[in-house]
Amino acid sequence: MKSARRSLLTLVVILSGLIAYLIYIKQNPAGAPSESDALDQNPSTLTEESHKGAESCFDFSPEEVVELKFENGSQTLRFAQTSETESLPSQSLDRRELESSPKASDSDQSKREETTSVSSLADGAKPKAELKFRLIEPDLEGQSTIRVESLIDHLLNLKSERSFTVEDKAANYGLEPAQASLSYRLKSGRVVKIEIGDSVPTKLSSYYIRESGSSQVFVVNGLSQILELKAYELMDSSLLPITLDAVEKFEFKREKDQVNLIVEATSSQTTAALPMSQASRTWTLTSPLHFEADSDRVEAFIQELLHASAQSCIDYLDQEDDGKRYGFDEASYRVRFWTKEGAPIELFIGSEDQAGNFYVKTTRNPGVYLVARSSFTCLDMELKDFLSPFAMFYNISDIEAIDLKLPGETVSLEMNVPSVKQRSSAKSDAEKQENFVVNGEKIRGDEVEKVQAFKTLYQSLIGVKIAGIDDTVPKSSQAIYEIRYKFKDRRPDSVLQLTRRNDDSYYISIDGTGTSLYCHAEDVISDSNPDDLGIEAAYHKLEEALRGSNQETKNNRESE
């Protein structure tokens, strides 16, 4: 009886073990790592290192690395220390070198030392390692130093979450063959090749890696961003690495309405025909017409383009690719900048993606970038928006005389208005006094009404505003009004002429050359607003002030 019971108990134990084994097999199919990342496999295949904390994956220090190569089948990225870039052979990490270099033994793995932590690939993250590397294959122009060095810092400081050894099951972890590899060339000439396998089933951001030929496998986090990396993602997101101060000239082309203009930086001290400007530099539109530009608007236009930053680089064009699929063959907008440093840099703004972002590229490099449309608010500016709002605008203290031609009448205006600087340095009250003469008749400083009327006329003369541009260029010989400015510093005269365009406007000619610019008629003849009179109305007001004063003087003399 006891023997039967003992046999039954033994059978129950064996059956229980068999059921447990079948459950284990069902949950862990043959060849697949378990949820504990191989730590639940046969203990005889694992080392005690499985239970250690994070450790370096290398038996060398980051400072020993002079070159690093990443291969994933579809592309090869090769990086080298910048100090050695020029002297590196083109195939310094080839197959022969790898086969001849010594491999680290499993026993050497225990000598690994702790290194700095992994840094981010983000643009703003600064690498902790002080080593300077550059991508040399492919040799991208315009690559981001910060992105490259952040990536290299990451790859030089890979940390293992845990490790274990495998004998003949490397294929179970995607390591035979590996999907990608990292090769490190050291100063000693030794090359260490790291193979990258599958992602960990329970933690897809972690991957199995090992040194080529080694039985020790590490679990490393943060390699997904490397495996998916494209070379062009290392490009600098700054499109135009120049400053406003460096720009000397730019050309702007807009396809939809055939706008094509050129603006140049000029000095107010050396450009005689340009009005006074408070800016450190004045800007001149030189094509399609020659006219003073609005410095504030021009510089805002330049600054917006220079400060535009790409969301991402999405492609890299080779020399034979015209980028037609991005709209670069007939770019919607093109801007070319000339600087003191040599060849111009051109910006191409092509078509838009489905989200409304522009495809953009520059002649700085062949990268194709996505830039938000909101980054370019200035692209639809009208031609007149680039111009100074006034046809001619001069400080009265710079002018010695004006010859004004009205229909059927010529007026001579003379003035001497000291500048602020001249007033502060004047040695007598007489040198501070303002003097005015109209057709030979002097106006005393205490004749307030006459002085005010004279200044109102001057404001009207410099208040002719640019209202628009059309395709017609008038002949200056047909001008109805002419204003000739004569300067104290003896620079050449500036001449503004107005030719009738229609009942509501007049064409503007500058220094004897007709332009397609025009002003509103109210700037010339309006008398509806006492504070903003047209030229004719302002002159008639001055005449009235002169006649009224003369009549008062005559009456006073008769009464005496």
Instruction: Give yes or no for residue 480 having a pLDDT over 90.
Output: yes
318-327 average pLDDT score: 89
User: pLDDT tier at 16 (50, 70, 90 boundaries)?
Assistant: low
Instruction: Give yes or no for residue 350 having a pLDDT over 90.
Output: yes
Query: Look-up: residue for tokens 């009205």?
Result: 406
Looking at residue 37, what is its pLDDT?
A: 42
Looking at residue 96, what is its pLDDT?
A: 39
**What is the secondary structure of 15-57 as a DSSP string?**
HHHHHHHHHHHHHS-TTPPPTTTTTTS-GGG--GGGG---EES
**How many whole angstroms separate alpha carbon 353 and alpha carbon 372?**
10
**How many whole angstroms separate alpha carbon 361 and alpha carbon 346?**
8
Q: Tens digits of per-residue pLDDT, 509-546? A: 988 888 889 999 999 998 888 888 999 999 999 999 99
**How many whole angstroms separate alpha carbon 539 and alpha carbon 457?**
6
Kindly report the number of other CB atoms within 10 A of residue 540's CB atom: 16
User: pLDDT tier at 209 (50, 70, 90 boundaries)?
Assistant: very high
Instruction: Give yes or no for residue 554 having a pLDDT over 80.
Output: no
Contact of 150 with 121, CB cutoff 8 Å: yes
